[in-house]
């Protein structure tokens, strides 16, 4: 999609949701089709980009696995525990741009998008520096979590070589959200696809041909992520965003404290979600005879991980659409965008729910031929189905929160739902009632259900016109402060 196509569909339509471009009243069906077109313009490339990023890690794991069992375990632990922790935190912090850039674009304060992105670079770069000790002390940290000494030692070495990847997060995530809020998602998709091809080729050359081993595998992942950074920045800096990128500006150093607060709230909000089901695996590993349970859970989490790329894309799309409408002062449009997003994602979730329920005793064959593991996966399939169903709704409501700037409030909701309801109930069912992994997972699904219910109530009771007024005031305040010498 070229630059001409990127701007071919107007983002805002007057009072949007009641009239079309010619000012004629439109019915509910046409309004829904218009909103769906806007939503899918964000969601479709976002799904592709997320699947590509997921696949990049899968390729790295696959090449590490061919080097040996220890190499596979070390790469998996370093990538999941050390890099995964920092990935979730910095990704969450970057989501503050979905609020600010989305609302600024809706308010037609285009130059502020570039300023916000530069502020995000500053904040995330500072965060990346502060998180470096996790890489330096990865081995003792992993030993404290009970990892075998040989795995912890090699994973610690691998973690040190992941530092370039770590710093790429500080630039890549803001760039993605900066473009996403302008509906330039096709650019992100193209760059992600190019980075995947480069990654596969470079990994094959470095590992299979040049025999660079585990460190070579790690460096190829670093290189591929920086290809994405340079590709997106090249597009932005070379004229791809003439209205929103005016070059580097000293304005980026103003208002950093307020930006940091919103970024921190966003980071906490998304990290609490990102860590939640990682804790499920950790708890399962402490059960008696946990090997089969972990194998079955791994199969289910892989299925859930692939499918989760769809609701996460809706999370991004909903956040942008709600922020755009609120920034334009159109509360009713934001409400309608929310309804369309929730309904669309829920229908997709129901489809996968029926698929999992229908193939409950077969989908494990993708990963294993062990009759014992297949039976264990079959026993967990109903929990996987309901997890997927809830995940089709919860991220959309979180996207509404991001688009509206409610990150701080949702962080408290997540703490209460996940860590004071879900995990304690899971522990109670798993150990006290001897239900094992079934009980742990069922309890944690309960926590997600509580969170989804609370977010649904907050969204339903929201005064959208008030939220639109707050968004307009925020844009006016930021524009005024940025114009001061």
Residue 25's SS3 state is strand
Residue 186's SS3 state is helix
CA–CA separation, 236 and 242 (whole Å) = 8
Number of H helices, E strands in the chain: 21, 0
How many CB atoms are located within 10 Å of the residue 230 CB? 15
CA distances from 340 to 33, 38, 312, 314, 397 (A): 9, 11, 16, 11, 12
Domain residue ranges in the chain: 43-253, 269-485
Could you read off the pLDDT tens digit of each residue along the chain, which spans 485 residues? 343 443 333 333 434 445 554 445 567 888 999 999 999 988 999 888 888 887 887 788 778 777 776 777 777 778 777 787 888 888 888 888 888 898 889 888 898 999 999 999 999 999 999 999 999 998 998 888 777 788 789 888 989 999 999 999 999 999 999 999 888 988 999 999 999 999 989 988 888 788 888 888 889 999 999 999 999 999 999 999 999 999 998 888 988 888 888 888 888 887 777 777 777 766 776 666 666 776 777 778 878 877 888 998 999 899 999 999 998 899 999 999 999 999 999 999 999 999 999 988 888 887 677 888 888 889 999 999 999 999 999 999 999 998 888 988 988 998 899 989 999 999 999 888 888 888 989 998 999 999 999 999 999 999 999 998 988 887 776 655 554 54
The pTM for the full model equals 0.80
Phi, psi of 484 (to 5 degrees): -75, 140
Let me know how long the chain is.
485
CA 328, chain centre distance (Å): 25
Contact, 21 vs 13, CB < 8 A? yes
> Which of these, 285, 225, 244, lies nearest to 86 by C-alpha position?
225
CA–CA separation, 18 and 26 (whole Å) = 6
């Amino acid at each position: 999609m070229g630059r001409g196509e990127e701007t071919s569909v107007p983002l805002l339509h007057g009072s949007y949701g009641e009239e079309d471009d010619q000012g004629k009243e439109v019915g509910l069906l046409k309004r829904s089709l218009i909103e769906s077109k806007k939503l899918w313009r964000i969601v479709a490339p976002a799904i592709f980009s997320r699947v590509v990023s997921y696949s990049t890690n899968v390729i790295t794991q696959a090449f590490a696995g061919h080097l040996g069992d220890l190499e596979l375990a070390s790469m998996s632990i370093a990538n999941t525990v050390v890099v995964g922790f920092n990935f979730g935190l910095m990704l969450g912090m970057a989501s503050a741009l979905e609020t600010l850039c989305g609302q600024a674009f809706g308010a037609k304060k285009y130059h502020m998008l570039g300023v916000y992105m530069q502020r995000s670079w500053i904040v995330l770069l500072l965060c990346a520096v502060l998180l470096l000790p996790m890489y330096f002390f990865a081995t003792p940290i992993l030993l404290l979590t009970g990892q075998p000494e040989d795995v912890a030692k090699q994973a610690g070495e691998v973690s040190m070589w992941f530092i370039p990847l770590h710093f790429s997060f500080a630039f890549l995530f803001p760039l993605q959200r900066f473009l996403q809020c302008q509906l330039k998602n096709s650019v992100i998709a193209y760059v992600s696809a190019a980075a995947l091809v480069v990654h596969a080729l470079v990994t094959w050359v470095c590992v299979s041909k040049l025999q660079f081993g585990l460190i070579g595998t790690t460096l190829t992942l670093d290189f591929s992520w920086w290809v994405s950074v340079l590709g997106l920045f090249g597009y932005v800096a070379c004229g791809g965003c003439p209205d929103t990128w005016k070059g580097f500006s000293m304005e980026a150093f103003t208002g950093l404290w307020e930006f940091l607060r919103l970024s921190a709230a966003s980071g906490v909000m998304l990290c609490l979600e990102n860590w939640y089901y990682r804790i499920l695996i950790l708890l399962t590993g402490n059960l008696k005879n946990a090997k089969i349970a972990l194998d079955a859970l791994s199969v289910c989490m892989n299925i859930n991980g692939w499918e989760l790329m769809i609701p996460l894309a809706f999370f991004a799309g909903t956040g942008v659409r709600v922020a755009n409408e609120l920034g334009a002062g159109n509360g009713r449009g934001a409400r309608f965008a929310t309804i369309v997003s929730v309904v669309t994602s829920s229908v997709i979730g129901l489809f996968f729910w029926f698929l999992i329920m229908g193939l409950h005793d077969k989908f494990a064959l993708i990963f294993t031929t062990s009759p014992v593991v297949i039976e264990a996966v079959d026993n967990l399939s109903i929990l996987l189905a309901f997890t997927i169903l809830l995940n089709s709704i919860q991220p959309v409501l979180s996207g509404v929160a991001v688009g509206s700037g409610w990150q701080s409030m949702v962080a408290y909701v997540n703490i209460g739902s996940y860590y004071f309801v879900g995990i304690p109930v899971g522990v109670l069912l798993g150990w006290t009632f001897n239900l094992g992994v079934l009980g742990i997972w069922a309890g944690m699904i309960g926590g997600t259900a509580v969170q989804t219910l609370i977010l649904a109530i907050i969204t339903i009771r929201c005064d959208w016109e008030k939220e639109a007024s707050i968004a307009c005031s925020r844009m006016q305040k930021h524009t005024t402060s940025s114009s001061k010498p």
